[in-house]
Amino acid sequence: MALYEKTASELSELLGKKEISAVELAKDVFARTKAVEDKVQGYVTVTEEAALQQAEAVDKKRAAGEKLSALAGIPIAIKDNICTKGTLTTCASKMLYNFKPPYNATVIEKLTAADAVITGKANMDEFAMGSSCENSAAHPTHNPHGLDRVPGGSSGGSAAVVAAGEAPLALGSDTGGSIRQPASFCGVVGLKPTYGAVSRYGLIAFASSLDQIGPFGRSIEDAAMLLDAVTGHDPLHDSTSVKTPFEGSLRANLNANVKGLKIGLPKEYFGEGISEAVRKNVMAAAEAYKAMGAEVFEISLPLVEYALPIYYILSSAEASSNLARFDGVKYGYRTPNAGDDITELYTKSRSEGFGAEVQRRIMLGTYVLSSGYYDAYYKKARAAQRKIREEFANAFEKCDVILTPVAPTTAYEIGSKTTNPLEMYAGDICTVSVNIAGLPGLVQPCGFDENHMPVGMQLIGPRFGEQTLLNAGLAFEQASGLKNIIAAL
């Protein structure tokens, strides 16, 4: 087995025992990247030279007998909306085509302190708006399990490079499903943490009240390991971050016993629009849990019907405000066609710098925040958000976790939904409620469809229920053997 085919946990052990070096590992991972990246196109920027230097530094520390973290020497890809000092951070947008941040995101500071090796910046939908990675201004990413298909989005690049063996781990961000849906489409593990569990400092904002950074890996243990490294209260930089009860101890406390675990299956998530392959595989997972001694029963979450309008109103409102900073003046793209008219400079820079989907969201967001429509849309959506929160809180009085599909279908063909934005939005039905309620959601592979495309399942937990989710995920992973799936390519 080549090094790139191993999980981060396995690699961590080999590095710890000095059976392999970080440089050897990085070289193997970049050789794989060179072999497959033409087909996958998961990266916007590959940072091989810097990565090899980081790896060399780790090896020196290890040789000197320093005590190193579990992530020391482990290659990790970073979604291109997370600021990396001195390294291009484009958000897959023409608007930020030349942006080299003067600072690191908190998660990057943490990974650097843990001696992780950053492989590059992963492709995404522009400003994280999209579900297929086709809204990238750089290029689309291809699903490693079927190159004519999308990898999902918006963190499609992060999911694809992990599935293709181009990195054992990656960071993504999730505002309405952007970690979980690509994890599902690419057959890897992805976790959207509880809102506040990971600092958002240096994550280029889409919708600040919904955005969270989270891990991708090819096993539950790997996702736990990466979340352990990046979680934590960041009082200086992100006042919405909090101290969590699990702070860095998720991997150490993994326990696959699900006897007596109460698992709710919300009937509304299995209804019309969910494809047979998805329903069948998620229901089979529910049966597997029963066989392991969990209590599985039907519950009802009727407000899911309102989740999409609530999400698209709130997220677009926040996006229209967050993206106001990109004006062609301070940094990023500036139109060469403005003459000396300042208004023209703003409008042309924004019209030329932002892609169609981003402009659509800004217009939608500006509309729902405008004085004539604020009460009818934005205010109502905020009130409905509270109802959704209550609905989940009530559900968690009856069950420990909720099991659902991740998306109505498996990965679809590139180009098949780009002309119909509403159809694209509809694919987010199973994931957006989790962000609206600020809850954690774990996605992992649970089978394959008739075309051998991966099917994922989603476990939703109460606030700070990450350990319960990962434990339940581990139990299924062990029972199903669906772990460390790498696309053949």
Catalytic site residues?
Answer: 79, 154, 178
Is the Cβ of residue 89 or residue 131 nearer to ligand GLN in the bound state?
131
H or E element: which one contains 481?
Answer: none
Token output for 119:
């492989």
Q: Which is nearer to ligand GLN, 299 or 432 (CB)?
A: 432
CB of 126 to ligand GLN, least distance (A): 10
- Let me know how long the chain is: 489
Q: How far is the CB of 306 from ligand GLN (least distance, A)?
A: 16
CB 291 to ligand GLN: min, Å: 33
Q: Residue 108 CB, nearest distance to ligand GLN (Å)? A: 19
CB of 170 to ligand GLN, least distance (A): 15
Q: Return the number of the residue (178 or 404) whose C-beta is nearest ligand GLN.
A: 178
The answer to whether the CB of 358 falls within 8 A of the CB of 320 is no
| Nearer CB in complex with ligand GLN: 211/466 | 211
Nearer to ligand GLN, 204 or 446 (CB): 204
Residues 6+ apart with CB under 8 A from 322: 205, 206, 207, 208
With CB atoms as reference, the residue minimizing the distance to ligand GLN is 178
- Please give the full DSSP string across 124-149, using - where no structure is assigned: -SGGG--SSSTT-SS----BTTBTTB
Contacts with ligand GLN, residue ranges (CB under 6 A): 128-131, 154, 174-178, 206, 315, 428
Instruction: In angstroms, give the least distance from the CB of 206 to ligand GLN.
Output: 6
Distance of closest approach, residue 7 Cβ to ligand GLN, in angstroms: 25
